[in-house]
Amino acid sequence: MAIEILMPALSPTMEEGTLAKWLVKEGDTVSSGDILAEIETDKATMEFEAVDEGVIGKILIAAGTEGVKVNTAIAVLLEDGEDASAAVASSAPAEAAAPAAAKAPAEAKGPVATSVPQSPDWAEGTKMKQMTVREALREGMSEEMRRDETVYLMGEEVGEYQGAYKISQGMLDEFGPKRVVDTPITEHGFAGIAVGSAMAGLRPIVEFMTFNFAMQAVDHIINSAAKTLYMSGGQMGAPMVFRGPNGAAARVGAQHSQDYTAWYMQIPGLKVVSPYSAADAKGLMKTAIRDNNPVIFLENEIMYGKSFDVPDVDDFTIPFGKAKIEREGTDVTIVSFSIGMTYALAAADKLAEDGISAEVINLRTIRPMDTETILASVRKTNRCVTVEEGWPQGSVGGFISGVIMQEAFDYLDAPVITLTGKDVPMPYAANLEKHALLTVDEVVDACKKVTYR
């Protein structure tokens, strides 16, 4: 029987890809392990191997086709003795071989963010260019490395591999191995080495492959980096950036899916930022590298491939401690950061349909936090909902709600609702993962609740 070769999923976050190149042609005999095609995923170009043996009967998707959805039939494989007519007969569209599971995590992440309205970060009429969060991070780091010889990047697979998530792609070529340093898998050790080098005058950027692995290094982040300036009576500190993807990716289970924002937010001596858009990513990155303190820079893997407008100017920075009102409104204030913003903004759209006007605040800096902007907004709307993927007890929202209660109690017309991820380790199963994460509907419901609708 002819077998349909389906477009494979080749990464945890891939939904579609480009069929870059066929390495076989119709009539070729292949056996399992042979490379059939090159496929570009959201992260890399991958070779796609045959699993079954047979003859390529028909190629259904031409080389160079972009946006081929996972599980689309791309070719037909004939078994011994079959002829091409079998191929034609069976080349009808593949029925959905993948279960809902395959798509669930993507849906759970909320809709893709689109453009951002006017901004305090750049003047009206500034020339803009589109780029992904990934490119923005890279550009921010590269610009600072060009500007300042003491800045270097260190971490696992940042160099020759071009970055586990391709953030540092091309940087080894440009800056060389002295400044783009591949480390063994020794987080505690290299974080300590980086802190020492910062104490001695360098400006390290430490990439954690993900922040889950920074737990191996957390002693140096807190005891060595955050406290040295204080303990030395101001003589020396650790001007450096610890960065990497934070929070849940897709289907990677409990040990690889955790939001650490609230953890680091607690530590005096650390600054903590978490960008949402590409403009945030670039502007905050440049500020982080220049800052004379240890900065925790929390990225999000799901956001890496999303595109946004970024000002096309020489030296674009975003100050720390300044939140951004991404959308103005009058009925309820939604405060969020990082990927949480995608839920917040999508909810605001939905609420608008029901005549509820939501103001959406993108925190960007978590510590020091721009509580003034939050309070001013709450004094206007009299209601607040906070949105984050982390856990409820000791959350960012819990802190915000405390501040509002102490500073704007009389302005509140409803208790603050602090929306978080569920109070459970992240499950692997697709349906459970979806329920562990926030949804846009939860944000909408919370806003309706505080506005008594």
Partner 1 sequence: MSAKKADAKPNVSAEELMGHYREMLLIRRFEEKAGQLYGMGLIGGFCHLYIGQEAVVVGLEAAAEEGDKRVTSYRDHGHMLACGMDPKGVMAELTGRTGGYSKGKGGSMHMFSKEKHFYGGHGIVAAQVPLGAGLAFADKYLGNGRVTFAYFGDGAANQGQVYETYNMAELWDLPVVFVIENNQYAMGMSVKRSTKSPSLWERGAAYGIPGEEVDGMDVLAVKAAGERAVAHCRSGKGPYILEVKTYRYRGHSMSDPAKYRTREEVQKMKDERDPIDQVRDMLLTGKHASEDDLKAIDKEIKAIVNDAAEFSKTSPEPDLSELWTDIYADQ
Ligand X SMILES: Cc1ncc(C[n+]2csc(CCOP(=O)(O)OP(=O)(O)O)c2C)c(N)n1
Using CB under 8 A, list all residues that contact partner 1: 6, 8-12, 14, 32-33, 35, 41, 43-47, 51, 70-71, 97-99, 101-103, 105, 156-157, 160-161, 164, 182, 184-186, 188-189, 212-213, 215-216, 249-256, 422-425, 427-432, 435-436
State both tokens at 196.
């020492």
Of the listed 139, 156, 256, 433, which one is catalytic? 256
- Nearest approach, Cβ of residue 170 and partner 1 (Å): 14
Amino acid occupying residue 249 = A
- Nearest approach, Cβ of residue 72 and partner 1 (Å): 11
Place of tokens 């608008």: 352
- Nearest approach, Cβ of residue 252 and ligand X (Å): 10
- Which of ligand X, partner 1, none interacts with 405 (beta carbon under 5 to 8 A by kind)? none
- Which of ligand X, partner 1, none interacts with 414 (beta carbon under 5 to 8 A by kind)? none
- Nearest approach, Cβ of residue 247 and partner 1 (Å): 14
Residue with Cβ nearer ligand X (210 or 300): 210
For 288, half-sphere exposure in the C-beta direction (CA atoms, 13 angstrom radius) is 32
Place of tokens 């003795």: 81
Give a three-class secondary structure readout of 302-322.
HHCCCEEEEECCCCCCCCCCC
- Residue 372 CB contacts under 8 Å (≥ 6 apart), including other chains: none
Residue with Cβ nearer ligand X (213 or 337): 213
Residue with Cβ nearer ligand X (181 or 209): 209
User: Count of CB atoms within 10 A of residue 177's CB?
Assistant: 10
- Which of ligand X, partner 1, none interacts with 188 (beta carbon under 5 to 8 A by kind)? partner 1
> Helix, strand, coil shares of the chain as percentages rounded to 5?
35, 25, 45
Residue with Cβ nearer ligand X (44 or 94): 44
Assess whether 187 carries a catalytic annotation: yes
Of the listed 4, 187, 301, 388, which one is catalytic? 187
Query: Residue 380 class from Cβ within 10 Å (0-12 exposed, 13-18 middle, 19+ buried)?
Result: middle
SS3 9: coil
Looking at 4-155, list the stretches that DSSP marks H as alpha helix, in order from N- to C-terminal side: 84-90, 100-108, 133-147
- Nearest approach, Cβ of residue 245 and ligand X (Å): 11
What DSSP string runs through 388-450? -SS-STT-HHHHHHHHHHHHHGGG-SS--EEE-S-SSPPP-SHHHHHHHS--HHHHHHHHHHH
Provide the CA 321 distance to its chain's centre, in angstroms. 21
Looking at 91-179, list the stretches that DSSP marks H as alpha helix, in order from N- to C-terminal side: 100-108, 133-147, 171-175
Distance CA 122, CA 275 (A): 16
Cβ–Cβ under 8 Å, residues 240 and 294: yes
User: Count of CB atoms within 10 A of residue 284's CB?
Assistant: 26
Contact residues toward ligand X (CB under 6 A) are 156, 185, 187, 209, 213, 216
- Nearest approach, Cβ of residue 186 and ligand X (Å): 9
The most distant pair of C-alpha atoms in the chain lies apart, rounded to whole Å, by 82
Residue with Cβ nearer partner 1 (12 or 398): 12
Assess whether 220 carries a catalytic annotation: no
- Nearest approach, Cβ of residue 36 and partner 1 (Å): 11
Residue with Cβ nearer ligand X (249 or 366): 249
Residue with Cβ nearer partner 1 (212 or 224): 212
Let me know the angle formed at the C-alpha of 228 by 226 and 229, rounded to the nearest 5 degrees.
Answer: 95
Residue with Cβ nearer partner 1 (253 or 398): 253
- Which of partner 1, ligand X, none interacts with 161 (beta carbon under 5 to 8 A by kind)? partner 1
- Nearest approach, Cβ of residue 46 and ligand X (Å): 18
Give me the active site residues, please: 187, 256
